[in-house]
Amino acid sequence: MVKIGLENVTKIFTKKKLENKVLDDISFEVADGNFFGIIGQSGAGKTTLLRIIAGLEGPTHGKVKFDNTVVAEEGKIKVPIEERNIGMVFQTWALYPHLTSYDNIAFPLRAKKMDENDIESTVLHLAKMLGITEILVRKPGRISGGQQQRVAVARALSKSPSLLLLDEPFSNLDATIKDNARSLIRTVQKELSITAIIVSHDPADIFSLASDTLAITDGRNAQMGRTSDLYHKPSNLTVARSIGEMSVIQGLMTQGSGKDVEVKLGDRCKLGFRRDELIAIVPENNTEVRVGFRPESLEVLEENNTALKGSDYWVLIGNGFVKICSYSAGIFRVLIRLDGLDDDIAVSSDVSIDTDSRISLYAKRDDLKLFDSNGNSMLNYSMSLGKQGSSNDERRRIYAST
């Protein structure tokens, strides 16, 4: 029910005359009713960003706007947190330990001096929606983690806030109930059509909830856009890795024949790229580059199995052995060590593969990512991307030479 706008927000913490720039020139807008994600590694500044939006901190420079009202500007908080009408779910949930769940949920309403009868109906309605009716009389110390989290969500929603802020709300939950909690929040957010912002380091949170996402690294806007775009068209390696798993192999880029550029991986694999598939100027000969692979864009075959040889879609990366094969939610995660390479490569597989067995590793050619030695993406995504890029004339020309 509110549009959030950040304009050139910079935050500098000064401690003993040492300046620490936690956020650097962040700007974005969250449309009314949208679910916005902020992802980044720990220490990237994402929690500080959320605290600035909440009003727990003021931006050192820049503006924060709620609709058209400037709520904070140039180090000054103009509208304090208690007047911003936000609901906030903290990482630790921060429930009041001396109050019952009921009183916790009723707290924001009592602070507003709402009539006790109205409070009761609101609390009971939310409790029913979140399935915590039976534990309302209990104090937070006497209920499970999942229930505590739902009480925290109910408390954040009870005063019908115009903005819901979630700070790593699922990180203290058991893996088995995380998805339930996510779907609950998604449902509630849609039902109340409330603007929401979630901060997390876990791609699962972001994918399940946020339609648009900002990736921050070292306090800077690394990339912003549709959540799926961050995954498929990462602007740099850090973004690619924060939004999902990515294995990287070092390669050497050289001039190929004609308009092509070749990337050599190990001594067996050469990948070819057209010039227009790359952004900016192609570096000189023998520049170090990195090729990134998502686990689902790789396929493992027994060594010397030629099923994929000559395929238009698959390219042989190399031979190696299985370091370990683990299991998670219906998918086997296989860690591969290729001959002559030092880095492990993670592959998702439908079947379990024995440790130490010899394999050949194939990659889906259209899903490769290419980064320069600084980790910035070298691909021109508008020329070659995912499914659209798979059409014949646009397809990236990659070949394997063995």
Residue from 96, 313, 321, 332 binding another protein (CB under 8 A) = 96
Least separation in angstroms between CB 14 and another protein: 12
Binding segment for another protein (CB under 8 A), chosen from 41-49, 82-90, 170-178, 292-300, is 82-90
Question: Per rule CB under 8 A, is residue 83 in the interface with another protein?
Answer: yes
Binding segment for another protein (CB under 8 A), chosen from 65-73, 86-94, 200-208, 257-265, is 86-94
Q: Which two tokens stand for residue 221?
A: 């806007």
Closer to another protein by CB, 160 or 376: give it: 160
Binding segment for another protein (CB under 8 A), chosen from 60-68, 92-100, 193-201, 263-271, is 92-100
Question: Per rule CB under 8 A, is residue 112 in the interface with another protein?
Answer: yes
CA angle 339, 345, 349 (to 5 degrees): 110
Question: Per rule CB under 8 A, is residue 339 in the interface with another protein?
Answer: no
Here's the x/- map for another protein, 265-294, by CB under 8 A: it reads as: ------------------------------
Question: Per rule CB under 8 A, is residue 72 in the interface with another protein?
Answer: no
Question: Per rule CB under 8 A, is residue 92 in the interface with another protein?
Answer: yes
Here's the x/- map for another protein, 126-165, by CB under 8 A: it reads as: -----------------------------xx--x-----x
Residue 33, CA distances (Å) to 60, 76, 163, 211, 314 in order: 28, 27, 9, 11, 41
CA angle 123, 127, 132 (to 5 degrees): 140
Cα-trace Rg, the chain: 25
State the SS3 of 189-245.
HHHCCCEEEEEECCHHHHHHHCCEEEEEECCEEEEEEEHHHHHHCCCEHHHHHHCCC
> 290 phi and psi, to 5 degrees?
-125, 135
Pick out residues in 165-204 that bind another protein (CB under 8 A): 165
Least separation in angstroms between CB 50 and another protein: 11
Closest CA to 298 of 331, 267, 272: 331
Closer to another protein by CB, 118 or 134: give it: 118
Closest CA to 199 of 228, 230, 175, 166: 166
Closer to another protein by CB, 161 or 295: give it: 161
Closest CA to 255 of 287, 224, 279: 287
Strands 18-30 and 69-73: unpaired
Query: Is the sign of the CA dihedral 99, 105, 110, 112 positive or negative?
Result: positive
CB 319 within 8 A of CB 400: no
Closer to another protein by CB, 19 or 354: give it: 19
Q: Which two tokens stand for residue 322?
A: 């299985």
Closer to another protein by CB, 87 or 318: give it: 87
Residue with tokens 């001039």: 255
Question: Per rule CB under 8 A, is residue 56 in the interface with another protein?
Answer: yes
Residue from 94, 248, 335, 383 binding another protein (CB under 8 A) = 94
Closer to another protein by CB, 82 or 302: give it: 82
Question: Per rule CB under 8 A, is residue 85 in the interface with another protein?
Answer: yes
- Specify which residues 293 forms β-bridges with: 247
Q: Which two tokens stand for residue 252?
A: 């050497």
Q: Please give the size of the binding site for another protein, defined by CB under 8 A.
A: 27
Q: Which two tokens stand for residue 56?
A: 């727990």
Residue from 8, 20, 43, 98 binding another protein (CB under 8 A) = 98
Helix (H, G, I), strand (E, B) or coil at 103: helix
Least separation in angstroms between CB 85 and another protein: 7
Closer to another protein by CB, 94 or 308: give it: 94
Closest CA to 370 of 246, 257, 267: 246
Closer to another protein by CB, 54 or 308: give it: 54
Residues that bind another protein (CB under 8 A): 54, 56, 80-83, 85-88, 90-92, 94-98, 107-108, 110-112, 155-156, 159, 165
